Structure formats: C-alpha cells, structure tokens
A = this chain, B = another copy of it.
Amino acid sequence: MEGDVGKGLVCPKTMDGKASNNNGNGLEKTVPSCCLKAIACVPEEDAKCHSTVVSGWFSEPHPRSGKKGGNAVYFNNPMWPGEAHSLKVEKVLFKDKSDFQEVLVFESATYGKVLVLDGIVQLTEKDECAYQEMIAHLPLCSISSPKNVLVVGGGDGGVLREISRHSSVEVIDICEIDKMVIDVSKKFFPELAVGFEDPRVQLHIGDAAEFLRKSPEGKYDAIIVDSSDPVGPAQALVEKPFFETLARALKPGGILCNMAESMWLHTHLIEDMISICRQTFKSVHYAWSSVPTYPSGVIGFVLCSTEGPAVDFKNPINPIEKLDGAMTHKRELKFYNSDMHRAAFALPTFLKREVGSLQAS
C-alpha cells in the first residue's frame, strides 16, 4: 500500500518538525503527501494557505485564478495535494486574524455554520458530532470513573460539552492558545460553546506545553489533545517532548487521546506518531471515524495509556449507555455509541500492515 499512497516516494520523516524537501513549488513532487502536514505555511506564501470565498463558494484549499485569466481556477495545498473540497457559502459571518491564525466563520448551504482556521475547516454544525463525540468518549468510556480531565486545544467547546456527559468527572481543565477561537465559538456556535458553561470547567489561555510543565505530576486520568493540524500553532504538539510532558501529567494507567490525521492520506505521519508514543506509553492504539468535511472523509485518533492498570480500549468498560443521563446531557448523542466505539479500532488491511506491528497492547 505504501507505493499506492505515497506514489512510490520515500517518506523523509518530518516528525522532528523540519521538512527535508521544503523547496517551495515543487513540494508535492518530492515529498509524499503523507509527510506534508508537518510543513508550516511560510509567511510569504500565506496567500496560498488561507481562506477565501470565491463566487459564493469556500474551497479547501482555496481556489486561485489561473495565469491566463478567464474562468480558470486551481487549488494547491501541501497538506493534501491534488484534491480540494468546496462548500457553498450562504453568508460570511466573521473573518479576522488572531495572534495565531486566521479565523473565518460562514453559514454554508448544506452543512450549517462552518469554522475555518488558516483556511482549514475545523468543524461544521452538520458533522461536528462525529469528531467531538468520538475524541471524548473513546478515552473516557475506556476507564472507569474518570475524575480529572485535561483538554489541549478544543477552544470551540465541543469536547467540553461531551466530557460533561460524564458525571464522575470532577475537574475539566482546558488549555487553548487562541482566545479568539473561544470568543467566536461563544458567538456563533452556541451548541458547542455550551461546554464552557459547565462549572467543572477551568479555562487556561496559553501554551499547552508550558501549562503541562507547571501541572502536578500524575494529575489527570485522561488528556484529550484536540489540536488543529500540525501546522502553525499546533506544530509542537506532535513532537516527542510534548508526548513526554503529557505522559508525566497522567496518573498510572491514565490515558491520552490525540487527534491523528487521515489513514488514507497520512499513513507515514500516523506511523511516526505511533512510534513516538510507543517510546513513552505502555499501550498505543489507533482508531478512526468518518467525518465528511475532513480531507478524505476520515479522522484518526491515537489512544495511549501509561504504565499502571491495563486499559482495554477496544471494549469500553464504562459504556455511555449505562451512565445516568449521559445520552441526553445538554443535547442528545448523535454519533457515538458502544458499537461505534468497538468498530473504531477495526483497521483496514493496508493500515494494519503499516501500523499494526507498531501497536503495543
């Protein structure tokens, strides 16, 4: 499968945050697509990466006019070269630059309101349920009575909304670097920002690595890393020192759930992430979910547990169906259930070959 996905190119492994072949225009000719997520947009090329609405459509990556004029368009993005997804825009609701990224909100024709950061769709009202419910309940239903939970990123509040279904939880810390994301969510995405209203939530605006260094060792039962792609502010969040910091903040037998890209597009990035996690954690598993508006229609999660009591991720010992009121807290569950939990760990044969041997049980 490697040859199919990477078109025969050898992956230069970019998990150290540096791209070995970052030579500008020729990117997709020399580096397989699975590795390109780690290459940040450079300022002088920003126009390539960020969001534009052309004639009532938003495209990811955004369309640019052809050199010969006319109706020509083309798309180019080093993160998923050769393809683009477009959504019809009814109305642009918000567009501004924060200290960290460009923030865009628009009302789409068929996916509800859409949040875009640096030109990349983060969520739509129609399919956010899949991402938020899976990234929260895959870890929290894998341990009994989670008490202290940390969210890294997740400024839209959707993951908080999901965590709050668990009545065993006493503390929900969230460390988000970009306050504008929170403000925008509170204004335009009340169904997500409702997560901030839970009195157990303690909001910390700042850098997650710094926050974690100051956290007491072994504080958390679970940490959920709901970061954006490893480009821009989230780049440090896929490097080994960060995973070590996460492990330190977890209890023995504590668990991490980390957003982990597309199995169809970023097999090498997933392999790298699993390799790094194996050096730090006792057990490492990969799971995935359908999310239509993410590239290739899927998103993955790396689930890890620290040394301590064994965690059987694949069979939820804390099933959501048995938690009092969890199914309807704030709003009804739309996507997750215990069947979907177990199914999320079934991997296509090509991915099993690539990462199966890397997974510790």
Show the binding face of A for B, using Cβ within 8 Å. Answer: 1, 4-5, 7, 28, 33, 54-57, 59, 63, 65-66, 69-75, 80-88, 108-112, 125-127, 129-130, 264, 288, 290-292, 296-298, 332-337, 339-340, 342-350, 352
Contact = CB atoms under 8 A, between A and B. Distances in A.
Contact of A84 (B71, B85, B108, B347): B85
Contacts of A87: 82-83
Contacts of A4: 112, 125-126, 334
A264 B127 contact: yes
Nearest to A69: B71
Given A55-B66, A73-B73, A110-B7, A348 B296 contact: no
Contacts of A70: 65, 71
Nearest to A130: B348
Contact of A264 (B63, B109, B292): B292
A264 B59 CA distance: 20
Contacts of A291: 297
A261 to B, nearest CB: 13
B88 A110 contact: no
B88 A86 contact: no
B339 A346 contact: yes
Given A84-B85, A85-B85, 9 more contacts: A4-B112, A55-B73, A59-B86, A66-B71, A74-B88, A75-B86, A84-B86, A335-B349, A342-B343
Contacts of A112: 4
A4 B28 CA distance: 37
Contacts of A292: 264, 296-298
B63 A73 contact: yes
Contacts of A69: 71
A153 B285 CA distance: 39
A334 B143 CA distance: 33
A207 to B, nearest CB: 33
A75 to B, nearest CB: 6
B352 A337 contact: yes
A141 B80 CA distance: 35
Contact of A333 (B108, B334, B349): B349
14 contacts: A55-B71, A57-B75, A65-B71, A74-B88, A75-B86, A83-B86, A84-B85, A85-B86, A290-B296, A296-B297, A340-B348, A340-B349, A342-B346, A343-B343
